[in-house]
Structure 1
Amino acid sequence: MQTDIDPRSLIGRKALDRNGAKIGTVDEVYLDDATGVPEWAAVRTGLFSRDAFVPLEPSDLVDNTLRVPFDKALIKDAPDFGVGRHLSPEQELQLYRHYGLHTSAAPAPPDQDFGTLANETP
């Protein structure tokens, strides 16, 4: 997705699936904790429905509409974590798996070799 878009400007926009079918309206945008880059959008899927999380990375903003490259059925079946709260790393991983997206490898464990003591000779 375009990185120069203000995430607040996505709120209230229509969201369409890969076939152009209306999914709903963007309610909230979630930013990556480390980078601050918009990562997920919560899309209200209907008047009495819930919000479904959709990934913003493979999505595009076309003619003021969020185009999500997944089928509407897959989006509606996404895990439901509620909105207005922080997504945990485990919840994000569930979402990535649901959409068949690759995640970056887990960080390497910290190096346990803290060096030699001052009075030791190398």
Structure 2
Amino acid sequence: MQSDIDPRSLIGRKAFDRDGTKIGTVDEVYLDDATGEPEWAAVRTGLFGRDAFVPLAPSRVEGDALNVPFERALIRNAPDLGVGGHISPEQELQLYRHYGLPLPGPAPDAPGSGEAPGSSGSAA
């Protein structure tokens, strides 16, 4: 995702899958604990639906939309983590595996290089 986007500006945007089908509306944005960069968005998938977490790194903001490069069915079947809190390292691993994304690793010279992946955290 573009790094110059204010995470708060994503809230309320419509989200679309890779085919241009509407998924829902961005409810919350979760920042990486270590970098403070936006990493995940919780997208409300329907009037009585739940929030599905989508990765922001491969997603693009275009106009007033968030375009997520995955199929709607995959997004809707993402692990149900609830919203409003903190994404634990274990929950983040679930999301990376669900989307088939490579696990993030710390920079080679970063302190704590041996820590387990999973540094997402608080909602913005």
TM range (shorter): 0.7 to 0.9
Q: Quick one: which of 95, 102, 108 aligns to 2:114? A: 108
User: SS at the partner of 1:54?
Assistant: strand
Partner of 2:20: 20
Return the alpha-carbon distance in structure 2 between the equivalents of residues 21 and 8 of structure 1: 23
Return the alpha-carbon distance in structure 2 between the equivalents of residues 2 and 81 of structure 1: 25
Instruction: Compute the displacement of 1:62 (Å).
Output: 0.7
How many percent identity over aligned positions? 73
Aligned AA (1:45): T
Return the alpha-carbon distance in structure 1 between the equivalents of residues 6 and 91 of structure 2: 24
Partner of 1:31: 31
CA-to-aligned-CA distance 1:6-47 (integer Å, 9 cap, x gap): 000000000000000000000000000000000000000000
TM-score normalised by structure 1 residue count: 0.86
RMSD of aligned residue pairs (Cα, Å): 1.2
Q: How many residues get paired?
A: 109
5+ residue gaps in structure 1? 110-122
Structure showing greater radius of gyration is 1
Aligned AA (2:28): E
5+ residue gaps in structure 2? 107-112, 116-124
Q: Which runs of 4+ in 1 moved over 3 A?
A: none
Which structure's relative contact order is higher, taking Cα pairs within 8 Å and 6+ residues apart? 2
